[in-house]
A and B are shown apart, each in its own frame.
Chain A
Amino acid sequence: MAKRIDVSGLAAYYGTHLAIDDISMSIEPRSVTAFIGPSGCGKSTFLRTLNRMHEVTPGGRVEGKVLLDDEDLYGPGVDPVSVRRTIGMVFQRPNPFPTMSIYDNVAAGLKLNGNFKKAELDGIVEKSLKGANLWNEVKDRLNKPGSGLSGGQQQRLCIARAIAVEPQVLLMDEPCSALDPISTLAIEDLIGELKSQYTIVIVTHNMQQAARVSDRTAFFNLAAVGQPGKLIEIDDTERIFSNPTVQATEDYISGRFG
């Protein structure tokens, strides 16, 4: 059920400011693609154009094409709500709904999308929590608020919430940057398991993480502050980290800037 993404000539604006320009790339299904690059290079902005979250920021505007298995996300008649329903997202800071229980958090997306019987819901919630490696830790307190969990558990809860609606693609915006090393490891393991079913795109500041979890890596950079961010290169992770074609990539990876 995972789908491939083809981006061509994509540019994103904040008002009149051009944040990213002329990005084209393909994202393979059932694999992990990592976006790396210095701060402000537009990798998060680019991620948010992939499920039409960029346009909820005031002034946010996108030009270009994003094809999800040949269907343009920005084509006429496409409903952004359906896009986001199809392409799930996990954010930098864990953000379970504070007024909802663990169970309701996982079921939140499902409840929006139609009538499920209680038994069906129970099944999906359990499956999603198991899929997020959280089931054993929370199965006895499903009706407690999600805000009572630790940071790492909350982030896995958010992943469970995202996969409960069975998306085609899972976008992760620095999902581990607010977590301690042990929780980070748990999430990284989880990403490794999830890639058999989903197309996963992850933005990360941590190059070791990109090397550990991803199959392909895209490097973004910007010429100068105020200039739009651009895609420098995208290749197999191994290539990027051992033998990149562009000098800037090597400089960044070897820690010479950024």
Chain B
Amino acid sequence: MSIDSAPDTAAPPPAPAGKAATKQNLRPGDRVFLGLARGSGITLLVIMAAIAVFLTWQATKALTENEGNFLTTFEWDPNAEPPVFGIAVLAFGTVVSSVIAMVLAVPISIGIALFISHYAPRRVATPMAYVVDLLAAVPSIVYGLWGALFLVPHLTGLYEWMDAYLGWTGVFEYNGGAARSLFTAGILLAIMILPVVTNVSREVFKQSPKMHEEAALALGATRWEVIRISVLPFGRSGVISASMLGLGRALGETMAVATVLSPSFMIETSLLDPGGGTFAQNIAASFKEASPAGIGREALIASGLVLFVITLLVNGLARLIIARRKEYSGANA
């Protein structure tokens, strides 16, 4: 392992070089400081390990007592005798609401990112970048409150419309009532992940080499053609990883979904009708009923573990793409 020698090589050898290279010769101050710094780093690793261990451990407790099938049961009744619970509905709802959010947010984010990086004059672009940052800073519960008390009532009209024109698909049927559906959750999630996707895409678009843009311009390309030829191919992997980061956010969002969704343990074929649930929403909604006596809390932890693993995979993938990209652009620099 090279970690031990690293600090020594980084520090300049004081006086005789032969002695300085050994660990014992570190000054006490240096040794303490390095210990603290490394200790903090290790603490971080320990926390991550502890998260995995404790979640798995508590989840196993619940899973061994579960009488239903954890993956396919359409029910959440861990306090019953015998306990029955499954994540089928939650997995469906989580995936569907996040996918809706992605479909809505990614194209719009690309649009805003291009607006800031290539379309808007600078005196508009800079404030716009601030506005996007502000969007990112608004707490999720405020989005949730706004979603529940403002967005939901205003969506009924839109849903009736979608029902009239797209109802034949079966996916966009709407039977009246409050618009507290997975689709609404998706819209709200889209608004929330917009800044994440926009910011990362914007950074990538801004790095797009000027010389390639000029090359396209000099060939007589219109502004859109410049973007299509030189900016978008350059930024593609960046946009993909930005979208994955956004997806990671959407998958784990709790309060915004918990406030706008009217949950049920059924899978609705129509996305506009109330019902369904997501991992995070279900944890928030069922927690107060989960008595410490039964395995209610452990069952929720089990579903949280699934969410944890999914977000890990999605984020890991996003980071992998970013890292690849860095290597690629580094090699070309």
Contacts and interface: CB of A to CB of B under 8 A. Distances in A.
Interface of A: 51, 53, 56, 58, 81-86, 88-89, 91, 93, 95-99, 108-109, 112-113, 147, 158, 161-162, 165
A99 B215 contact: no
Contacts of A85: 219-220
Contacts of B332: 98, 147
Contacts of A108: 216, 219, 229
Interface in B228-285: 229-230, 233-234
A95 B211 contact: yes
A193 B18 CA distance: 66
Interface residues of B, number: 19
A58 B122 contact: yes
Interface string B317-332: 0000000000000001
B30 interface: no
A117 to B, nearest CB: 20
Contacts of B215: 91, 95-97, 158, 161
Contacts of A84: 217-221
Contacts of A165: 219-220
B212 interface: yes
Contacts of B230: 97
B221 A81 contact: yes
Given A56-B217, A83-B220, 19 more contacts: A58-B122, A81-B221, A84-B220, A84-B221, A85-B220, A88-B219, A89-B214, A91-B215, A95-B209, A96-B215, A97-B229, A97-B230, A97-B233, A108-B216, A108-B229, A112-B219, A112-B220, A158-B215, A165-B220
A38 to B, nearest CB: 24
B65 interface: no
A57 to B, nearest CB: 10
B169 interface: no
A112 B221 contact: yes
A27 B225 CA distance: 31
A162 B219 contact: yes
A93 B211 CA distance: 8
A113 to B, nearest CB: 7
A97 B214 CA distance: 11
Nearest to A105: B215
B220 A53 contact: no
23 contacts: A56-B214, A81-B222, A84-B217, A84-B218, A84-B219, A84-B220, A86-B220, A88-B218, A89-B214, A89-B218, A91-B215, A93-B211, A95-B215, A96-B215, A97-B212, A98-B212, A98-B233, A98-B234, A108-B216, A108-B229, A112-B219, A112-B220, A162-B218
A126 B31 CA distance: 68
A3 B15 CA distance: 74
A166 to B, nearest CB: 11
Given A84-B220, A161-B219, A162-B219, A95 B214 contact: yes
Residue from A53, A83, A85, A97 with most neighbouring chain B CB atoms (10 Å): A97
A85 B218 CA distance: 7
Contacts of A58: 122
B229 A95 contact: no
The 6 A-B residue pairs whose C-beta atoms are closest, nearest first, are A85-B220, A89-B218, A109-B219, A99-B233, A95-B211, A84-B220
Contacts of A98: 212, 233-234, 332
Interface in B298-330: none
Interface in B175-217: 209, 211-212, 214-217
Nearest to B122: A58
B212 A91 contact: no
Nearest to A167: B220
Nearest to B328: A98
A85 B219 CA distance: 5
B239 to A, nearest CB: 14
A53 B214 contact: yes
Nearest to B233: A99
A108 B215 CA distance: 10
Contacts of A53: 214, 217-218
A113 B220 contact: yes
A239 B218 CA distance: 33
A85 B222 CA distance: 10
Nearest to A96: B215
Contacts of A89: 214, 218
Contacts of B219: 84-85, 88, 108-109, 112, 161-162, 165
Nearest to B121: A58
Nearest to B215: A95
A83 B332 CA distance: 32
Contacts of A158: 215
A82 B219 CA distance: 9
A251 B233 CA distance: 48
A230 B86 CA distance: 80
Contact of B214 (A81, A83, A88, A91): A91
Contacts of B211: 91, 93, 95
B122 A51 contact: no
A86 to B, nearest CB: 8
A55 B144 CA distance: 46
